[in-house]
Amino acid sequence: MKSQSQKSKKELKEFAQTTPQQLTLFELGDEQNEDYSNTVELYDMMPKYYLGGVKRDIGKNVDSLPVLERDFKHRGQEYKLNIYPAAIIDRTTGKTIHYLPSQREELVEDVLRKLAAKQRGVFLDEEAGVKFTLNEVQKELSNIGHGYNINEIKEAIEICSKSVIEISSKEGNEVSISASIFPFVAMENTDKSGLDNKVVVVFHPLVSKSINEGTFRLINYEKLRMKMPLARWLHKRISYVFSQATIRNPYPIKLSNIIRDSGMKEYKTISERIRQVSKAINELIDHDVLSKFDIKKDVEGSKILDAMFFLYVSDSFVSEGFFKK
């Protein structure tokens, strides 16, 4: 196997491979295998993906991309996030192109975490990872309504291995980590089609930390079918922080907080921002996560300053109860 890691020059055979009890707890039973996966709170909540539409490929037209800097807040704690673009060599032109991790990379990472929960996980030198084939990833993506070819999946994995994420607490007393999304990747090159090439990926250190400490939670994997990244982010957020979920008790969240914490595109007008968030919420309603929502606008004269969304969870969401784990 050929290593593609930026951080380590070690060969796969040099790692100590184990299956500790913590990983066994991360794995799902047969009755949960298809419908559920596990999610990691701080790591999954930080806005590490660029969701800016057509600018996703802006790196093809410039010599470099700047570091994407973001501030976000989670459970009352303020964080600073720096996302470093991945430098990828175009196989056709030989040109170096810079990419920020985006929706495709998010979906591939979610699928790999799902595979790890389906007894494909492994620990390499005490860091959580997963063994898989590109064919398995392609099938899982197709199952949740997102189709990518093998080369696109390989490129997504390469971007994840070369895009470094720096996160630090603004108070400097909780977390400070710099690592790529996939700190180690090893991939066979024996199958020309690429479908059955075996791949090993190590997850971000915060994922390993969560598995070791048992702080992950179940999430309905089928909801990854949602098309809007913001809808998927809201689903994860509600699952984590809304522990008192009932069909009569709405979850309140400000428009400004959604924009700050999700990494969604900051549209020019506040009316368009409200429209885009409402569109994502309606997708949650279509997928039976929410039953309805209300909006209360904060206005000054004729100017909208902010808006509060009140999200009512569905009977189905409450009955699953996975968010209480």
Model confidence at 207, pLDDT cuts 50, 70, 90, reads confident
**Do both 249 and 201 map to the same domain?**
no
- pLDDT of the residue at 61: 64
If asked whether residues 192 and 99 sit together in one domain, one would say yes
Question: Mean pLDDT over residues 262-268, rounded?
Answer: 87
Higher pLDDT, 325 or 122: 122
* Same domain as 231, residue 212: no
**What is the model's pLDDT at position 291?**
93
Q: pLDDT, tens digit, for every residue of 147-197?
A: 899 989 999 999 999 999 999 988 766 668 899 999 999 887 766 666 777
Regarding whether 246 and 206 lie in a shared domain, the answer is: no
Residue 11 lies inside a defined structural domain of this protein: no
76, 213: one domain: yes
Give yes or no for a contact between 253 and 311, defined as CB atoms under 8 angstroms apart: yes
Residues 177 and 235 in one domain: no
Question: Which pLDDT tens digit goes with each residue over 131-154?
Answer: 899 999 999 898 888 889 998 999
Residue after which a domain boundary falls, among 171, 188, 221: 221
Q: CB within 8 A of 193, min separation 6: which ones?
A: 150
> Which residues, other chains included, contact 128 with Cβ-Cβ below 8 Å and sequence gap of 6+?
23, 26, 116, 121, 122, 202, 203, 207, 208, 211, 212
Please compute, for residue 242, the number of CA atoms within 13 A of its CA located in the half-sphere on the CB side: 25
Closest CA to 274 of 313, 309, 232, 299: 309
**Domain identity same for 141 and 44:** yes
- Flag whether 277 is in a domain: yes
Residue 25 has pLDDT above 90, yes or no: no
Amino acid letter, residue 271:
S
Q: Residue 133 region, left (φ>0) first, then alpha (ψ -120 to 50), else beta?
A: beta
Output the pLDDT for position 325. Answer: 39
What is the pLDDT at residue 322? 46
Answer yes or no: is 2 within a domain: no
Confirm if 234 and 268 have CB atoms less than 8 A apart.
Answer: no
Domain boundary among 182, 204, 221: 221
When pLDDT is cut at 50, 70 and 90, the band that residue 214 belongs to is: confident
- Are residue 22 and residue 125 in the same domain, yes or no? yes
Q: How much is the average pLDDT of 192-207?
A: 83
Same domain (yes/no): 177, 35: yes
25/131 Cα distance (integer angstroms): 17
Q: Are 112 and 237 contained in the same domain?
A: no
Burial of 317 (C-beta count, 10 Å sphere; 0-12/13-18/19+): buried
| Integer Cα distance of 317 and 291 in angstroms | 9
Domain boundary among 191, 221, 251: 221
The CATH number linked to 287 is: 1.10.10.10
pLDDT digits (tens, 9 = 90+) for 63-109: 778 899 999 998 888 999 999 999 998 888 888 889 999 999 999 99
Domain containing residue 78? 16-221
Give SS3 for 89. strand
Q: Which two tokens stand for residue 64?
A: 């470099």
Q: Is the confidence at residue 257, as pLDDT, over 50?
A: yes
On whether residue 113 sits in a domain, the answer given is: yes
- Measured CA distances, 56 to 65, 75, 92, 138, 320 (Å): 11, 30, 20, 21, 36
pLDDT at 323: 43
In a domain, 145, yes or no: yes
What are the DSSP E strand ranges found in 184-246?
184-187, 198-202, 217-220
Contact 171, 78 (CB under 8 A): yes
Q: What is the pLDDT of residue 30?
A: 47
* pLDDT given at position 303: 92
- Tell me, yes or no, whether 136 and 282 share the same domain: no
Q: Tell me, yes or no, if the pTM score tops 0.85.
A: no
CA end-to-end distance (rounded Å), the chain: 38
Q: Indicate whether 210 belongs to any domain.
A: yes
Whether 5 is in a domain gets the answer: no
Q: Are residues 212 and 246 in the same domain?
A: no
Identify the pLDDT of residue 3. Answer: 39
Residues in CB range of 126: below 8 A, 6 or more apart: 16, 18, 208
Higher pLDDT residue, 152 or 245? 152
User: pLDDT exceeding 70 applies to what percent of the chain?
Assistant: 76
Strands 121-124 and 127-133: antiparallel
Q: What is the pLDDT of residues 39-57, one digit of tens each?
A: 567 888 889 998 765 455 6
Q: Is the pLDDT of residue 272 over 50?
A: yes
Average pLDDT, the chain: 81
* Domain contains 31: yes
For residue 281 the two structure tokens come to 């919420």
| Number of domains the chain contains | 2
Mean pLDDT (whole number) for 190-211: 81
Whether the per-residue pLDDT at 297 is higher than 50: the answer is yes
